[in-house]
Structure formats: C-alpha cells, structure tokens
Amino acid sequence: MSLEFPHVSPVMWQKRQSIKKFKKQKPMFKQLMDMTAKCMKEHPELANDVHGAIQCEVIHPETMSKFTDYTFHTHPHGDIDYPSDKDIETTKTLNKEWLLIGLPTRNKVVAYNAKDGFKHKVAEF
C-alpha cells in the first residue's frame, strides 16, 4: 500500500512514477521519431517494406547506458505498436525494466514493462 495513495499498490505507484518520467522526455522521443519520419520520407521505396524500413529505425542513445532502466527505439511504419521478439530479447539482455517504442506516424510512444515479459502495453503517450 502506498502512503500517498492508500488504494494503490507500491508497484503500481512506481510504474506511474516511471511513466511520468518518460512523459517528461517526450521532446527527446519526438526528435528521434522525427528523424525516423524524415528517413522514411527520403526513402519512399520503404513504404511497403517493413524489414527494409529498419534502416530508418532510430535508437535512443541512453538505451545502451547502464544508468537507465529502459530501451527506446522507433518503429518506422508506426502501425506496429508492439515489440518484436528481438526487441524483447535485446531489452532483457540489457537488463532493462521498460521497453519504449516510438511511433512516428502517430506521434506516440508506447510502453511495455518487464513484469509481464513485455507482453501488454502499459501506457501510450
């Protein structure tokens, strides 16, 4: 039970705090999504090529840092708002609690958490 919100579990409270922290970083995420969108615009031949579009994917530089608890990358097409098996494997290998995906065509970031194996979307902002 949380002292601030007695009806909210500590785990849920902690998740909410993490989501608030991520929302504050939206300008940085937006910059990275804009880079992906620009790449896709410059390469219209990738519009129907999900695998080829990976070359327009952008990874947040802090993803590789030991000092963050998340990975962030973009999905160039934006219609795939769930992590691939490779996304999950990489996030687990880096020992991160959160997997964030930027969707440039929607200007949204979706968040998944390690508690359920990154299977269910926890937030979208």
The total number of structural domains in the chain stands at: 1
Residue 44 lies in a domain: yes
Residue 18 lies in a domain: no
Mean pLDDT computed over 105-125? 96
Residue 3 lies in a domain: no
pLDDT interval class at 2 (50, 70, 90): very low
* pLDDT value of position 10: 66
Q: Is the pLDDT of residue 1 over 50?
A: no
Q: Is the pLDDT of residue 63 over 90?
A: no
pLDDT tens profile 7-17: 556 667 778 89
Residue 5 lies in a domain: no
pTM of the model: 0.88
Residue 10 lies in a domain: no
Q: Is the pLDDT of residue 118 over 70?
A: yes
User: Can you give the residue range of the structural domain that contains 86?
Assistant: 26-124
Is residue 116 within 8 Å of residue 87, measured between CB atoms? no
* pLDDT value of position 59: 95
Three-class secondary structure assignment of 10-64: HHHHHHHHHHHHHHHCHHHHHHHHHHHHHHHHHCHHHCCCCCHHHHHCCECHHHH
Residue 38 lies in a domain: yes
Residue 6 lies in a domain: no
